[in-house]
Amino acid sequence: MELRPILLSFLLLICLSATIVSAQTTAVATASDPLSALPTSDVVGFMDLKRILTEIIPRVLAKDPATLLKLTSAVNELNTKTGLNILSIDRIAVGLQFVGAKTRNVKKNDLGLAIIMHGDFDADALVAFLKREAKGKGSEESYGGKTIHIEPRPAPPEKKSERETGALSILDAHTLVIGDLPQVRATIDAASGKGHVDSSLVQLAARDSNALIGVAGNVPPELIKDLQSTASNDPTEQAISKLIANIKQVFVSFGATAADFDVTTGARLGTSEQAQSLSDMLLGLRQKIGEEVTDQQFRDLLNSVQITAEGDEVQMKSAIKTEVVQDIAASIIKENQPQPKTAKPKQKPTHRRRGRRRRH
């Protein structure tokens, strides 16, 4: 079994929904704080998986108990199969590093991926499961005092670069890292203070201590130039193109209260003047779009978005009612359900009429 699909699956989890304390700068990262234990990264994110699975998912799927039951069964089945109780994972942190092209068409091999999981789980049981699935074809290497478990190499003449090769290492009894081989090594190095993730990026992702999920990233100048090259001659697009050139970092967080789901997204620019200009433009776009929206619920949601500029930052905040999220979730699930096959109507058998010969 290849680890690469597992890595991508964990990466997608980041888009679902984390409570984490604000990261503080230390000389050596501790594995108990998975976000600050990441290696050098351009994008970082975290999530409170246990809270999402036990509190948020049941709340979102309250109007669809059948799907909730399927999800619960799938979690239990995975626990039984792998020996890893997902509910025992409390925090997940993800780090992405640009190691290749920094354009809109970035490919998976242009990114270094490290996923750190922390919780009260049996990491050895997961390693044993992966070894069974690999049928002894995987390999191991010793690095920085840790053992790295590497997915099976392809049979010759096929080759895989190290960046394409999935790997896993146990950092301590309650923490493990999954990623491509170079990034797993980099994570082990980070534990000793080598190539440590930028603390300011960590703080930006974890600025909301009550968040379910938080993501922050540096915006490469090459990516900005690539985006600008696609802008048309439309005055609005040209104005937006000029403003995004000043964006240095972006961030987003998702949280929840008893009645709402909170979403905050924003950007850091070069100066306060640039931030104010971007804020004014976003306010204008919101008004323009609102005038063209016919759905009242969507219009109310759009108008509820608060757009502000403070210092060199622009923020957009919105509180979405639980009922609205439940309706959206139910609608998406319904649209993606396989359509039942309609039975083809049975055709009546055709009989050839045998004409009687007339006697003359």
Whole-prediction pTM: 0.78
Torsion, Cα 25 27 33 39, to 10 degrees, reads 100
Per-residue pLDDT of 48-67, as tens digits, reads 988 898 888 988 888 888 88
> Residue-wise over 282-300: b if at least 16 C-beta within 10 A, else e?
beeeeeeeeeeeeeeeeee
Helix (H, G, I), strand (E, B) or coil at 229: coil
Q: What is the DSSP string of 192-212?
A: TTSSBPPHHHHHHHTS-TTEE
Per-residue pLDDT of 266-286, as tens digits, reads 999 999 999 999 999 889 888
Gap between the Cα atoms of 184 and 193, Å rounded: 14
Segments of the chain assigned to CATH 3.30.980? 219-337
Q: Which long-range contacts (CB under 8 A, 24 or more apart) does 193-196 make?
A: 193/27, 193/28, 193/29, 195/39, 195/40, 196/29, 196/39, 196/40
pLDDT at 17: 30
Give, as one character, the DSSP assignment of residue 357. Answer: P
Q: How confident is the model at residue 150 (pLDDT cuts 50, 70, 90)?
A: very high
User: Is the pLDDT reported for residue 10 higher than 80?
Assistant: no
Mean pLDDT of 98-120: 87
Per-residue pLDDT of 202-221, as tens digits, reads 999 998 888 999 999 999 88
Cα–Cα distances in Å, from 103 out to 100, 163, 228?
9, 18, 11
pLDDT at 183: 96
Per-residue pLDDT of 285-296, as tens digits, reads 888 888 888 887
Lowest mean pLDDT of 7-11, 83-87, 175-179, 255-259, name the range: 7-11
pLDDT: which is higher, 331 or 181: 181
CB contact at 8 A, 91 and 118: yes
**What CATH number belongs to 219-337?**
3.30.980
**Please, which residues have CB within 8 angstroms of residue 33's CB and are 6 or more apart in sequence?**
20, 21, 23
| Helical packing angle, 123-134 and 65-82, nearest 10° | 80
pLDDT at 340: 63
Mean pLDDT of 335-360: 59
User: Is the pLDDT reported for residue 128 higher than 90?
Assistant: no
Q: How does the average pLDDT of the chain come out, rounded?
A: 81
Query: What strand order describes the sheet that includes 175-180?
Result: 139-143, 146-150, 166-172, 175-180, 111-119, 89-98, 43-47, 211-218, 247-256, 260-269, 313-321, 306-310
Q: How confident is the model at residue 356 (pLDDT cuts 50, 70, 90)?
A: low
CA angle 1, 50, 48 (to 5 degrees): 95
pLDDT at 120: 87
User: Is the pLDDT reported for residue 115 higher than 80?
Assistant: yes
> Per the structure block, which two tokens stand in for 137?
């074809």
Report the percent of the chain where pLDDT is more than 90.
33
> Cβ–Cβ contacts within 10 Å for residue 104, how many?
10
